Copies of this chain bind each other. A is one copy, B any other.
């Protein structure tokens, strides 16, 4: 196993030079934020990830979470690591100060989250879910609920979960059947079964706070009849501590292909008289509330894609530097060389590296959009950033995770035969990454959200705004006088034309023939990702070209960035040529075959 080293240089570059930390630091909410503080946080996180979390990644994979008679025990070392995580205050990094949080912006939390995920994705699903619950309760919990639950969720002494899925209700939440019956004291009794509940049961925390979708007795059918409830594993007592055991039990955990350390639970509510739940917000508004968590979680899963890609890349690059095999191409004598000297190994590593950097840039851009959408003093700016965030969320989730699977697969390939052997660890990334295109909404669901709610319903307005900005990036590169930047500018210009054409087609087709729009949705989402990722890379090249000339700059980093962008421009951006054709001409063929002929 290679050691994980947080890619601090690229993280800082994206945050400070590409996005601009000052834009976020200027927001009143983040008064004391500056580069030094961000550097310090990232460095500490890098250490914690490398020293505490990463060494447990393979332990977690081989040992797995274990179920026994309603309890789940975590793999050796996880409990101690989680305690350290809480003690160091990592759980409350972006939490509100009034509940003990450190109020750092999402753009910093995103980078720190990338580190946790690279180090140990299965571990950090626990804090990821908790932070989703935190955000939902901060925004829609009652005063009393917030006072009761947020301090312990912010510190991480308690953890949180999202309970949506039921056997018949996966992507289609309108089919939820769990019942919630009102009680005279204002609470509810819940009855039903939830499946695929990540960290639904475990031994890391004193209590687990489940947010559960259920129907009240007179609720309308479908999605408009779903309410959201807090159902703690232990009911808080008068002092706010974990008290009486609630009627929710873990029935079993899944035997999964990856993320073995993350317990995926079947939870039974109400087998012994009903699980006590507290209504969050208003009845029948549950799905809308749940989307607060879900959008948060979607970006977080997109980030998992970035993180797994980075980890797989580092692992493969380390192996390629060490593994000696064959001679320099064409040589029949002389020393044998490390496989990193072989052109195709280099191609694979460049595919991994360049796409990971593009994905990071896009994911962090979405994080900055959260900060600006929530905290900008100007309402119009807030709205503009919210639109951008809404557009980017499915793209970051869908594209970064789809690419992560390919990148993890390339990582196995770089290893050759030993990549297929579990001990080297490359296989684990390939297995772990495979969940990311599925949970929190499959790529198909993300793409449908993108083309219907984002592109279709606003007739591509936000995308056109993004395209206009991107065109000025292309023009900037084309007018730079630098042949390398100009070449990248050409590729970007082509790719933007493709994305514009695809967007026009979608805007045109959606009202009249949504089936065709839906059939082209995933190819369109991937096109968005690769082009917008490319735009971020092109801007990165522009910055790097300037910085290469500065005496005090880290020239090695900037020169590598220029070459990495160039690779992206020549290998990834041309895919837009194929993608636009598939989006605009492929839908009919997708829908043509009758069901019986499959």
Interface residues, chain A, with chain B CB atoms under 8 Å away: 165, 168, 170-172, 175, 196, 222, 254-258, 317, 320-321, 324-327, 329-330, 332-333, 336, 340-350, 353, 405, 409, 412-413, 416-417, 419-423, 427, 430-431, 434-435, 437-439, 442-444, 447-448, 514-516, 518-519, 521-522, 556, 559-560, 563-564, 566-567, 569-571, 574-579, 581-582, 585-598
Show 30 A/B contacts (Cβ-Cβ < 8 Å), sorted by A: A168-B324, A170-B417, A255-B423, A256-B420, A256-B422, A257-B421, A320-B598, A321-B595, A342-B444, A342-B518, A343-B515, A343-B521, A344-B519, A344-B521, A344-B522, A346-B519, A346-B590, A350-B589, A405-B409, A416-B442, A419-B438, A420-B438, A559-B597, A563-B593, A566-B592, A567-B586, A571-B589, A574-B581, A574-B582, A575-B578
* Inter-subunit contact B515/A448 (CB<8 Å): no
* Inter-subunit contact B343/A196 (CB<8 Å): no
* Inter-subunit contact B589/A170 (CB<8 Å): no
* Inter-subunit contact B586/A564 (CB<8 Å): no
| Given known contacts A326-B171, A344-B448, A593-B563, A570 and B582 CB-to-CB distance under 8 angstroms | yes
* Inter-subunit contact A172/B325 (CB<8 Å): yes
- Residues of B near A325 (CB, < 8 A) are 168, 170-172, 175
- Residues of B near A350 (CB, < 8 A) are 589-590, 593
| Given known contacts A171-B326, A347-B522, A438-B419, A560 and B597 CB-to-CB distance under 8 angstroms | yes
Q: How far is the CA of A172 from the CA of B337 in the complex (A)?
A: 11
Nearest neighbor of A444 in chain B, beta-carbon distance: B344
* Inter-subunit contact B417/A434 (CB<8 Å): no
* Inter-subunit contact B592/A582 (CB<8 Å): no
Q: Is the interface of A mostly helix, strand, loop or mixed?
A: helix
Q: How far is the CA of A367 from the CA of B516 in the complex (A)?
A: 39
- Residues of B near A431 (CB, < 8 A) are 257, 431
Q: How far is the CA of A340 from the CA of B434 in the complex (A)?
A: 22
Q: How far is the CA of A327 from the CA of B514 in the complex (A)?
A: 14
Question: Among B196, B417, B423, B578, which residue has its beta carbon within 8 angstroms of that of A574?
Answer: B578
What is the total number of copies of this protein in its complex? 2
Distance between A51 CB and nearest chain B CB, rounded to angstroms: 23
- Residues of B near A434 (CB, < 8 A) are 409, 412, 420, 427, 430
- Residues of B near A333 (CB, < 8 A) are 222
Q: How far is the CA of A431 from the CA of B422 in the complex (A)?
A: 11
- Residues of B near A349 (CB, < 8 A) are 598
Q: How far is the CA of A324 from the CA of B570 in the complex (A)?
A: 43
- Residues of B near A594 (CB, < 8 A) are 560
* Inter-subunit contact B570/A577 (CB<8 Å): no
| Given known contacts A574-B582, A589-B350, A422 and B320 CB-to-CB distance under 8 angstroms | no
- Residues of B near A522 (CB, < 8 A) are 344, 347
Known contacts A171-B326, A350-B593; can you find 19 more A-B pairs with CB under 8 A?
A196-B417, A254-B421, A255-B423, A257-B421, A257-B422, A257-B427, A317-B598, A330-B514, A343-B516, A343-B587, A413-B442, A416-B438, A430-B434, A431-B431, A563-B597, A564-B593, A566-B592, A569-B589, A577-B578
Q: How far is the CA of A585 from the CA of B254 in the complex (A)?
A: 47
- Residues of B near A592 (CB, < 8 A) are 563, 566-567
Q: How far is the CA of A350 from the CA of B518 in the complex (A)?
A: 15
Q: How far is the CA of A372 from the CA of B590 in the complex (A)?
A: 37
Question: Among B258, B405, B589, B595, which residue has its beta carbon within 8 angstroms of that of A340?
Answer: B595
Q: How far is the CA of A587 from the CA of B321 in the complex (A)?
A: 20
* Inter-subunit contact B256/A175 (CB<8 Å): no
Question: Among B254, B416, B570, B590, which residue has its beta carbon within 8 angstroms of that of A347?
Answer: B590
* Inter-subunit contact A593/B413 (CB<8 Å): no
Distance between A32 CB and nearest chain B CB, rounded to angstroms: 35
- Residues of B near A175 (CB, < 8 A) are 325, 336
Q: Which of A255, A326, A514, A522 has the most CB of B within 10 A?
A: A326
- Residues of B near A340 (CB, < 8 A) are 595, 598
Distance between A462 CB and nearest chain B CB, rounded to angstroms: 22
Distance between A297 CB and nearest chain B CB, rounded to angstroms: 14
* Inter-subunit contact A343/B556 (CB<8 Å): no
Question: Among B326, B566, B571, B597, which residue has its beta carbon within 8 angstroms of that of A172?
Answer: B326
| Given known contacts A175-B336, A438-B420, A329 and B518 CB-to-CB distance under 8 angstroms | yes
Distance between A407 CB and nearest chain B CB, rounded to angstroms: 13
| Given known contacts A340-B595, A347-B590, A593-B346, A420 and B257 CB-to-CB distance under 8 angstroms | yes
Q: How far is the CA of A563 from the CA of B596 in the complex (A)?
A: 13
Nearest neighbor of A313 in chain B, beta-carbon distance: B598
**Closest 3 interchain pairs by CB?**
A344-B444, A560-B597, A343-B519
Q: How far is the CA of A567 from the CA of B589 in the complex (A)?
A: 5
Distance between A429 CB and nearest chain B CB, rounded to angstroms: 11
Distance between A303 CB and nearest chain B CB, rounded to angstroms: 19
Q: How far is the CA of A566 from the CA of B586 in the complex (A)?
A: 9
- Residues of B near A579 (CB, < 8 A) are 578
- Residues of B near A258 (CB, < 8 A) are 420
